[in-house]
Amino acid sequence: MACPICEIRKEKRFCPAIHGRICPQCCGEQREVTLDCPGECPYLQQAREHEKPRPAGQFDTASLFLQVEVSEQFTYEREHLLMGLSYALLKAVQADRTLNDRDLIAALSAMCTSYERLANSGLHYEQPLTSGAQHAVAVELEQMMKQYREAEQKQLGYSTLKNLDVLKALVFLLRLAHGRTSRRPKSRAFIDFLSGQFPEAKSEIVSPQNQEFSTRAPGLSRRVL
């Protein structure tokens, strides 16, 4: 039978995105472009294994907020914050399965812009987001930071978390997302990476003390929390 996408070539492989068989060429060309490929698809997994990290020159430097320094010491000191924010991203995805890497990157970018302004000038102005789904991601991240501050207040009697710390944490995750995504329109490579870090995700914030969170991103960070 002919492939249902091109209607020319013979179908040879099962595509879980359409619950049917398609030809290898359409699989390769439409993967995460027009097809919502699930992370468990063996052809998607195979393709990711052979994808090379993006050269540094291909990144838009402005999108990485290179003016914000995120030191290795910071990632050690704020390990629990980074884990909490990462899990908040995963919670947002679990609540809305239509989200993809671009949505998370857009939400993180907008929040980085807002917190950079807040850290530098004290002016609070939320950067507008293009969709309700992206706004929901930002809300989940803000909620996690509120919980983080409340936990510090309860344990220490005060909160040590500054706006600059939040900015650095968000920039770290944004760079990680850029390094992990495949850049295809419907890519969920970064999302699948996050899922792999929390295989037994609960309905509440996971305890950082009981999780080992690897945050290696090609060309961006060699830090392991």
If one counts every other C-beta atom within 10 angstroms of the C-beta of residue 18, the result is: 15
- The domains of the chain are located at 1-50, 67-210
∠ CA 36-220-125 to the nearest 5 degrees? Answer: 75
Calpha distance 152→224 (Å, rounded)? 23
- pLDDT value for 212: 40
Write the pLDDT tens digit of every residue in 15-62.
999 999 999 999 999 999 999 999 999 999 999 988 877 666 667 778
Full-model pTM: 0.83
pLDDT, tens digit (0-9, with 9 covering 90-100), for 109-159: 999 999 999 998 866 666 667 788 899 999 999 999 999 999 999 999 999
Task: Give the integer Cα–Cα distance in Å for 67 and 30.
Answer: 36
